[in-house]
Structure 1
Amino acid sequence: RNDNRNLALQVERKMTPQEMRALYDYNAWANHRALEAASKLTAEQFVQPMGSSFGSVRDTLAHIFGAEWIWLERFQGRSPASLPDTTQFKDIASLKERWDEHEARLLSFVRALTQSDLDRTMEYKTLKFGVYSNPLWQSMQHVVNHGSYHRGQVTTLLRQLGAQPILTDLMHFYRERATAAGA
């Protein structure tokens, strides 16, 4: 068992529920932009093997979705033994449908969080590396960071396919949100 609880709580500043909500609003915004860009691809381009970490745009997006799904399960005390099967997503519409359902559950979970929820130690079993425990807020930060990393790969794949790349920088999200709020 890998227990980083004590070191993590001593070294790092905790996130507040408000900060976590903003981070997950950003994550949803960035995912929507990635899915929108992918929806402009042909069916062939969407599944075309590109030699990337997960092969295709579909498989990379499905990996982001699957990771978010499995982590939400872990946040709620369950440790699934596998990720969702990416081949179930025959097209962008089927992926978007599942992602929309998942996102509603995820954002509902995030909006209900209290500081004590974020500070609680969660224990979970990974698919490959065993049992871990750490504060919930760290795992939740990881999910957003993970998505950012792989959306960067999607951007590269879109460029390689001759499609319009996506802009998903956190600062761009903040600027859009400020403009929408009339700030």
Structure 2
Amino acid sequence: MKNHLIHLLNYELWANKRVIDALEKLENPPSRAVAVMGHILSAQQVWLGRFVGEPTFISIWEDTPVSWMGEMAERHHHKIVSYLTTLPEADLLKPIDYVSQQGSKYQNTLLDMLTHMSHHAAYHRGQVVQLIRPMVQEAPITDFIVWVRES
């Protein structure tokens, strides 16, 4: 299961970088597209803090400059994969207590948290692509199967 999750995380980095690259090429990307891509990256940081038990002092709608996004994506990917690599397989199913940004207490497994992160990012990447599609000659393709074929 860990290997599958790392596989998905590798895909997610590739997909995020494709969208970030497209944003970087635009002279004036739509502010909503920048905000949504920043949201993906900020949410990753918040979830990482939750499952490693470290407080994060970032809003999930943090203003993130496009010029920082590539490095953020790489850093988050490295931290999450490094954490997963050292984790015993059984720990994927252990409940983790955390508090939402609204102050509500929850408990989920790491497997569920990572699955949520993957789906959340894919949903929002689609929004970003829709927002920039009229501004680019070719919209970034972020389909999982395309990544698999290219890998």
Q: TM-score, normalised by structure 1?
A: 0.74
The answer to whether 1:139 aligns with 2:113 is yes
Instruction: Report sequence identity in percent.
Output: 27
Q: Tell me the residue number matched to 2:35.
A: 59
CA distance 1:132–1:100, shift in 2 (3 Å) = same
Flag the structure with larger Rg: 1
Cα distance in 2 between the residues matched to 1:113 and 1:58:
33
Q: Which runs of 5+ in 1 are unaligned?
A: 1-15, 50-55, 178-183
CA distance 1:75–1:149, shift in 2 (3 Å) = same
- Conserved in 2, the CA contact under 8 Å of 1:57 and 1:154? yes
CA distance 1:162–1:29, shift in 2 (3 Å) = closer
What RMSD in Å do the two structures reach over aligned CA positions? 2.0
Amino acid at match of 1:123: D
CA distance 1:41–1:66, shift in 2 (3 Å) = same
What do the CA deviations read for 1:15-34 (whole angstroms, capped 9, x no partner)?
x1111111111111111111
Aligned length: 151
Q: Tell me the residue number matched to 1:97.
A: 71
Cα distance in 2 between the residues matched to 1:97 and 1:176:
22
Cα distance in 2 between the residues matched to 1:113 and 1:159:
40
Q: Tell me the residue number matched to 1:18.
A: 3
What do the CA deviations read for 1:21-51 (whole angstroms, capped 9, x no partner)?
1111111111111111111111x22xx34xx
SS of aligned partner of 1:39: helix
CA distance 1:39–1:66, shift in 2 (3 Å) = same
What do the CA deviations read for 1:103-141 (whole angstroms, capped 9, x no partner)?
221221233333112111111111126111021101110
Structure having the higher helix fraction is 2
